[in-house]
Amino acid sequence: MRRGVLIGIAGGSASGKTLLASRIDDALGTDHVLVLKQDSYYRDLSELSAEERARQNFDHPDAFDTPLLLSHLETLLEGGWVKEPIYDFTAHRRALATRRVGGALVVVLEGILILADPQLRALMDIKVYVDTDADVRLVRRLRRDVEERGRTVAAVLQQYEQSVRPMHLQFVEPSKRYADIIVPEGGENSVGIDLLRTKIASLLARKWPEPGLGQEEGQA
């Protein structure tokens, strides 16, 4: 049985990982791509009070349910389907609903700490690190968390100082050494996107030689 292709995209919070994943999806021009977020696999903290949940360190590797993520990735790469958790960032807990996903030839996994985990790295065909300046990432995070997640500016800055920046320096930044390719500015880097598209198309052509998977018409 032919195994799917897994592309891992890591980088600091608000570095541009999601945009890069979206651009890869668009560039391949196929319905057989699934973008999966590590953020969906935060541990379920429903048993804690709202105050206790808000005090958790969400930037440490232990914040994620990595065994579940690994299990889901194995199933997806074998062509199966899984129930991806949906995480409620305003309440800091999993939603009751899930999202059924699968049937993809290419799985793009993006998250801050995916390259820091050796088991996740071992599954990846291509490992990418999005490298964006800290000040740019902070401004983006402020805007996102205030506008989309109902946080206050003070709360975002406090979390950044107490956990986001320290964990970035301890875990995220060092994981850059495991990357096959480093893409400055993520989805804004058209050259990086073209390089990734070419490599992914090459991998797909070896596994699924039929036309239309990331290749232009007439290309071998």
At residue 212, the pLDDT reads: 52
For residues 170 and 146, give the distance between their C-alpha atoms in angstroms, rounded to a whole number.
Answer: 26
pTM above 0.85, yes or no: yes
For 85-103, the pLDDT digits (tens) are 999 887 878 899 999 999 8
For residues 113 and 64, give the distance between their C-alpha atoms in angstroms, rounded to a whole number.
Answer: 9
For 2-48, the pLDDT digits (tens) are 789 999 999 999 998 989 998 888 888 667 789 999 999 999 888 88
Q: Give the confidence band of 215 by pLDDT, cuts at 50, 70, 90.
A: very low
With b for 16 or more beta-carbon neighbours within 10 A and e for fewer, the 56-85 pattern comes to: bebbeeebbbbebbbebbeebbeeeebebb
Q: In terms of DSSP H, where are the helices of the chain?
A: 17-28, 50-54, 66-77, 118-123, 134-148, 153-159, 165-167, 190-207
What order do you get walking across the sheet with 106-110 strand by strand?
33-37, 106-110, 5-11, 126-131, 181-184
How far CA 152 is from CA of 37, 54, 147, 157, in Å, comes to 24, 13, 9, 9
Which domains does the chain show, CATH number per domain? Answer: 5-207 (3.40.50.300)
At residue 217, the pLDDT reads: 38
User: Residue 183: left (phi > 0), alpha (psi -120 to 50), or beta?
Assistant: beta
For 127-164, the pLDDT digits (tens) are 999 999 999 999 998 998 898 888 889 988 998 999 99
Q: Which two tokens stand for residue 75?
A: 């199933």
For residues 93 and 219, give the distance between their C-alpha atoms in angstroms, rounded to a whole number.
Answer: 47
At residue 220, the pLDDT reads: 33
